[in-house]
Amino acid sequence: MINSILIIGASSDIGIELIKNIDKDCLIIAHYNSSYGELKRLKSQNNNIIPIKANLMIESELNNLIEKVVKKIGVPEKIVHLAATPVKQIRFNDVNWNNFEADILISLKSLVLILRKFLPLMAAEKKGKVVIMLSSYVLGVPPIALSHYTTTKYALLGFMKSIASEYKEKNIQINAISPSLIETKFLENIHERSVELSAYNHPLKRNAKVSDIVPVIELLLSKDSNYMNGTNIPITGGSVF
């Protein structure tokens, strides 16, 4: 198995920063849907980046993504799942099932189908690492008007715990991170005042930055995390324990 990583949601701010920090000898399968500009620039500097476009809400495109990964590298050594819908506050009285379904399809179903394909193959190799992006909303009392988003993150947490237990004897480390609010383009639908209030009320008087998050992902992808499995790491600056 070659040194390889599959990043779902690689065009996100965190995905881009992670790619910048990955060894250039590593083969990087970088999933994106609509935002290709920064990935294209990185690919021009590193031929080991293989961008693959897929709308995760469409099962045929997701299956096509999986098959392309199989053809390109066989079994990825590492999988990082960052894909999510942009955060949008909608009170439960105004939310509809489409809001829940979009989050479930993009965040949960995509991960389930990807791991259903690759976890058995990783198990045969008896090695592999999976990192899943969650949220601090699963650590304490979540904010209002985010029932669809929070529900999906809890589902991901349960899924992570379940598969970590099922594959614990296969030398596959499956872990998650739960950051508090990160200032990225994913907040474009959140009112600026809400972002400012989040920073004001934080113990460190600031929201998380991408540079706070990526090193923890790198740790979970490294051999230094070989004794960590089924763990959800809070990255909250002390705002939630």
- C-alpha distances out from residue 116 to 7, 110, 122, Å: 16, 10, 11
Read off the pLDDT band of 90 (50, 70, 90): very high
Q: What is the pTM of this model?
A: 0.96
Residues 21-55 have pLDDT tens digits of 999 899 999 999 988 999 999 999 999 999 999 99
Instruction: Output helix, strand, coil percentages for the chain, rounded to the nearest 5.
Output: 50, 15, 35
